[in-house]
Amino acid sequence: MKRIIVGITGATGAIYGVQILEALRAAGDCETHLVISPWAEKTIVLETEYSPQQVKRMATFCHDYRNQAAPIASGSFGADGMVIAPCSMKTLSGIAHGYADNLIGRAADVMLKERRRLIMAPRETPLNEIHLENMLKLTRAGAVMVPPMPAFYNHPVSLEDIIKHHTSRILDLLGIDNSLTRRWGDSFCY
pLDDT tens digits, one per residue of 79-104: 999 999 999 999 999 999 999 999 99
Please tell me the predicted confidence (pLDDT) of residue 187.
58
> CATH code at 169?
3.40.50.1950
Count of the separate structural domains present in the chain: 1
| pTM of this structure | 0.95
Of all residues in the chain, what percent carry a pLDDT higher than 70? 97
Which residue range is the domain that position 127 belongs to? 2-189
Q: Please state, in angstroms and rounded to a whole number, the distance separating the CA atoms of residues 136 and 2.
A: 28
Q: Is the pLDDT of residue 28 over 80?
A: yes
Q: Please state, in angstroms and rounded to a whole number, the distance separating the CA atoms of residues 153 and 157.
A: 11
Digit-coded pLDDT (tens) for 40-91: 999 999 999 999 999 999 999 999 999 999 999 999 999 999 999 999 999 9
Which residue intervals of 68-188 are DSSP H helices?
A: 89-96, 103-113, 129-141, 159-173
Please tell me the predicted confidence (pLDDT) of residue 184.
77
Q: Please state, in angstroms and rounded to a whole number, the distance separating the CA atoms of residues 98 and 108.
A: 9
Helix, strand, coil shares of the chain, percent, nearest 5, are 45, 15, 35
Of all residues in the chain, what percent carry a pLDDT higher than 90? 91
